[in-house]
Amino acid sequence: MDKIPILKMGHFLLVTIQVDMHDRLAMTLQDDLTSRVVKDRAKGVLIDISSLEIVDSFIGRMLANIAAMTRTLGAESVVVGMQPAVAITIVELGMSLHNVRTALNVDKGMALLIAQLNGLAEDDGNEPNPE
Amino acid sequence: MNPTRSETFQLQTSDDVIRMRQMVRVWMVEMKFGLVDQTKMVTAASELARNALAYGGGGSVCMEALADDGRRGLRLVFEDQGPGIADLELALTDGYTTGGGLGLGLSGSKRLVNEFAIWSAVGEGTRVTIVRWTI
């Protein structure tokens, strides 16, 4: 049974979905990611879907679930790299994904997570780098 | 309209759904559909195949290549012998679901194709036909 690898990069977890997701794989990913967020004390999750040729309502629901679950655990998720044809299709399908943060690519997604992390630090009153 | 090519596949597991998606993609590439057309049709097919599995207890899909007055079309007929749908109008409403999903399978896939027809009888099953044309 194959698994989707989860990489740790600093405060963040990085997942690249490269295979056609079937139901069990999607469920395993939800379980693995939430466990890793807790174990690694991750502050953010980056999900790269640039290799996905379609996002149907099943995969869309999985992405929304992951975003909600990790947010509950204190880690923001960002979905990056959606193909233009996929974006056109999911909007016509009627899927808004409005609870899922998205960014154009890995760089922009990472920038979003870092900005989020810095924002959190300020909210705590802990200036990361006081001049 | 007589199809120029026709094949039927069983839909019994989620792996069958993935194989069917790949098959639809291959046919559409061969028929020279554009990328957005392919993506819409494969997504609609995925929704309907999942419906056949989740609600119909499995079923089949018949794929047919059509040619009509210079345009090419792909017709997919999804059939199951499940419990059927009592209220089709309700089932075609965005957000309506009895299965805990998003309720976009039928209504959403209808928006992704050029032709959409549904037949269902309680206790007999459900048949959904979709067509996407090159022009």
Provide the domain limits for residue B71.
Answer: 5-133
Mean pLDDT lowest among B12-16, B76-80, B101-105: B101-105
Closest alpha carbon to B21 in A59, A26, A116: A59
Can you tell me which residue has the tokens 């300020």?
A122
The Cα–Cα gap between A66 and A80 comes to: 14
- Residue A66: which region, alpha, beta or left (left: phi > 0; alpha: psi -120 to 50)? alpha
Closest CB from A20, A24, A89 relative to B43: A89
The phi and psi torsions of B97 (rounded to 5 degrees) equal: -145, 150
Q: Mutation test of the interface with chain A: which of B94, B102, B132, choosing the one with the most A Cβ atoms within 10 A?
A: B102
More confident residue, A98 or B40: B40
What domain count does chain B have? Answer: 1
Closest alpha carbon to A4 in A75, A52, A39, A74: A52
Can you tell me the ipTM of this complex?
0.90
Q: Reply yes or no on whether the pLDDT at A1 is more than 60.
A: no
- Type of residue found at B36: V
Task: Determine contact, residues B105/B50, Cβ cutoff 8 Å.
Answer: yes
Can you tell me which residue has the tokens 């597991």?
B13
The Cα–Cα gap between B100 and A52 comes to: 24
Q: How confident is the model at residue B120 (pLDDT cuts 50, 70, 90)?
A: very high
Other Cβ atoms closer than 10 A to A105: 13
The Cα–Cα gap between B74 and B95 comes to: 27
Q: What is the pLDDT of residue B35?
A: 97
Q: What is the pLDDT of residue B123?
A: 94
Strands (E), A17-75: 44-48
Q: Reply yes or no on whether the pLDDT at A122 is more than 70.
A: no
Can you tell me which residue has the tokens 């039928």?
B106
**Helix or strand run (H / E) with residue B56:** none
Task: Determine contact, residues B9/A22, Cβ cutoff 8 Å.
Answer: no
Domains and their CATH numbers in chain A: 6-123 (3.30.750.24)
Q: What is the pLDDT of residue B98?
A: 80
**Helix or strand run (H / E) with residue B70:** none
Q: How confident is the model at residue A131 (pLDDT cuts 50, 70, 90)?
A: very low
Alpha helix stretches (DSSP H) within B80-131: 88-91, 105-111
Q: Mutation test of the interface with chain A: which of B39, B106, B132, choosing the one with the most A Cβ atoms within 10 A?
A: B39
Q: Which two tokens stand for residue A101?
A: 């943060």
Q: Work out how many CB contacts closer than 8 A connect A with B.
A: 68
Residue B76 sits in a domain whose CATH number is: 3.30.565.10
Residues 71-110 of chain A whose Cβ lies under 8 A from any Cβ of chain B: 83, 85-86, 88-90, 92-95
More confident residue, A126 or A64: A64
Please give the share of chain A, as a percent, with pLDDT higher than 90. Answer: 68
Asked if B51 reaches chain A (Cβ–Cβ under 8 Å), the answer is: no
Q: Mutation test of the interface with chain B: which of A18, A93, A99, choosing the one with the most B Cβ atoms within 10 A?
A: A93
Q: What is the mean pLDDT of chain A?
A: 88
pLDDT tens for A51-72 read 999 999 888 989 999 999 999 9
Asked if B105 reaches chain A (Cβ–Cβ under 8 Å), the answer is: yes
CB-count burial class (<10 Å; 0-12, 13-18, 19+) for B16:
buried
- Type of residue found at B61: V
More confident residue, B96 or B7: B7
Interface touch B112/A93, C-beta < 8 Å: yes
Q: Reply yes or no on whether the pLDDT at B80 is more than 70.
A: yes
The radius of gyration computed from the CA coordinates of chain A, to the nearest angstrom, equals: 15
